[in-house]
Amino acid sequence: MKYLPLNPEIFINNRRRFLDKMRDDSIAIFNSNDELPTNGDQLYKFKQNSDLFWLTGIEQEDTMLILFPNNPDPRFREVLVLVRPNELKEKWDGHRLRKSEAQKIAGIDTIVWLDSLDGMLQTWVHQVDTIYLNTNENDRKSTYIPVRDYRYAELMRSRYPLHQFKRSAAILKELRSVKTQLEIDVMQKAIDITDNTFRRLLKFIKPGVMEYEIEAEIWHSFLSQRATGTAYGSIIASGDRARVLHYIENNQECKDGELLLMDFGAEYGNYCADLTRTIPVNGKFSRRQKTVYNACLHLHHYAASILKPGISIVDYTKKVGDEATVVFQKIGLLRKSDIKNEDPENRAYAKYLYHGISHHLGIDVHDLGTRTSPIKAGMVFTIEPGIYIEEEKMGIRIENNFWITRNGNKDLMKNIPITVEDIEAFMKK
């Protein structure tokens, strides 16, 4: 890993929170992700199962976690399972964790090698009535792939058909959506790295630069600050390409007079930042660009003013849509007749703002959480309204990350330049 060691109290506390939700006489089993092939003998870069990392801080493949809070032998109430280090494999693929190293990362005393687990696990399972197994229940998941979690669930059901099985994901969706202060500290590090990088870009960008050159600067800046890399594929979209929400080609020239939309964020300690800024390529907003930008910034501030504990994302999105309707009329995008005749299921403002305003953020860029239940203190959200005008070949989006507290919310990106005046001043330097 490139980042500095995280505080193991993060994972100790996360496990404690999960254990408090478990039934009596139960055991919970978590698996790492698969190593996935690309072509030939190559593998995709390994990415740890987010739930397993949230509970242990371990990034190594072939890792498991066993939680058995009522085990008669207290040594085996929390068990971290690792692949046994192999001299030949280490010559090819590098160092694998020793027990003492894993203990420091996860804050777990008992380490068991994977090749000796089966006999112990069978004994433990025979002492419980309920087995918690994990699956990926992120609402944004669009495809079913039979990854290790699903294969393991099928295996356990066939071995222990008379046991009760419960979903760990139902608990994790609730717990992971609410961040502790220790988690926020790591997220703030990812955000600070992103902040430094954005300021670097403001000095670098000028007419004639290529989108991929900007992307390269992002990678260079992130890695030089110990980030693992980007939290997601960076969007570097100049001109009309800014209207494509997930534009990732990043292969065109940034031209004089265009706006440049940049959506990027660092990953540090497996926690994500998610920033969007729209800037003038030549360092100076035109009058119309400034008008639309300030309208978008108004929506950003309005959304921040109402995103508080108790409101649901559905109701919050509707309120922002109502405000966007007013703002879009003021800047000449909507007429009164457009609003009067709008379809309630496809409102008039959606022609120019056609995506959600906020999503949960954490270990995953689109982190676990609910859209329908009231927002709770401790959750982290993006706020990212946009205005996309096909007729003017213009796209603007402004995004910051907010931590919800009992008294409102805290802008974790408050130090990052956001106003027209600040952006122009930094680019002028």
How does pLDDT run across 355-372, given as a tens digit for each residue? 999 999 999 999 999 888
Please check whether residue 82 lies inside any domain of the structure: yes
pLDDT number for residue 405: 95
What interhelical angle do 287-306 and 420-428 show, nearest 10?
A: 120
Using alpha carbons only, give the angle 239, 194, 226 rounded to the nearest 5 degrees: 130
Residue 126 dihedral angles phi and psi, to the nearest 5° = -65, -15
Domain end residue (candidates: 145, 175, 205): 175
Residues 223 and 333 reside in one and the same domain: yes
pLDDT bracket for residue 253 (50, 70, 90): very high
E strands, 251-375, are 259-264, 266-268, 271-272, 275-280
Q: What percent of the chain has pLDDT over 70?
A: 100
Q: Average pLDDT of 237-244?
A: 98
What string of DSSP letters covers 263-313? EE-EEETTEE--EEEEEETTS---HHHHHHHHHHHHHHHHHHHH--TT--H
Q: How many CB atoms lie within 10 A of CB 371?
A: 14
One-letter amino acid at 382 equals T
Indicate which CATH number applies to the domain containing 332: 3.90.230.10
Q: Would you state the structure tokens that stand for residue 187, as one six-digit string?
A: 């997220």
Residues 390 and 325 reside in one and the same domain: yes
Residues 260 and 282 reside in one and the same domain: yes
**Reduced to 3 states, what is the DSSP secondary structure of residue 382?**
strand
Q: How many CB atoms lie within 10 A of CB 209?
A: 19
Beta-bridge partner residues of 111 = 80
Domain end residue (candidates: 158, 175, 192): 175
Please check whether residue 53 lies inside any domain of the structure: yes
Residues 211 and 126 reside in one and the same domain: no
Task: Give residue 358's domain range.
Answer: 181-428
pLDDT number for residue 139: 79
Residues 162 and 265 reside in one and the same domain: no
How many H-runs (helices) and E-runs (strands) does the chain carry? 13, 17
Q: What percent of the chain has pLDDT over 90?
A: 95
Q: Would you state the structure tokens that stand for residue 318, as one six-digit string?
A: 């509707």
Average predicted confidence (pLDDT) for the chain: 96
Q: Average pLDDT of 59-66?
A: 97
Q: Average pLDDT of 162-175?
A: 97
* Structural domain count, the chain: 2
| pLDDT higher than 90, residue 181 | yes
Q: Average pLDDT of 2-29?
A: 97
Residues 111 and 202 reside in one and the same domain: no
Please check whether residue 38 lies inside any domain of the structure: yes
Residues 118 and 262 reside in one and the same domain: no
d(CA 419, CA 294): 8
Residues 59 and 131 reside in one and the same domain: yes
pLDDT bracket for residue 138 (50, 70, 90): confident
Indicate which CATH number applies to the domain containing 52: 3.40.350.10
How does pLDDT run across 20-31, given as a tens digit for each residue? 999 999 999 999
pLDDT number for residue 1: 85
| pLDDT higher than 90, residue 94 | yes
d(CA 417, CA 414): 8
d(CA 115, CA 231): 33
| pLDDT higher than 90, residue 311 | yes
How does pLDDT run across 199-236, given as a tens digit for each residue? 999 999 999 999 999 999 999 999 999 999 999 999 99
pLDDT number for residue 98: 97
141 versus 194: which is more confidently predicted? 194
- From residue 184, how far is each of 49, 193, 272, 402, 403 by CA, in Å? 20, 14, 10, 10, 8
pLDDT number for residue 407: 87
Residues 6+ apart with CB under 8 A from 384: 274, 276, 300, 357, 358, 397, 398, 399, 400
| pLDDT higher than 80, residue 141 | no
Residues 353 and 369 reside in one and the same domain: yes
Please check whether residue 128 lies inside any domain of the structure: yes
pLDDT number for residue 310: 95
27 versus 136: which is more confidently predicted? 27
pLDDT bracket for residue 395 (50, 70, 90): very high
DSSP single-letter state for residue 20: T
Q: Average pLDDT of 316-327?
A: 98
pLDDT number for residue 306: 97
Please check whether residue 159 lies inside any domain of the structure: yes
Residues 132 and 117 reside in one and the same domain: yes
| pLDDT higher than 80, residue 143 | no
Residues 279 and 395 reside in one and the same domain: yes
Please check whether residue 419 lies inside any domain of the structure: yes
Using alpha carbons only, give the angle 195, 55, 92 rounded to the nearest 5 degrees: 80
Residues 218 and 293 reside in one and the same domain: yes
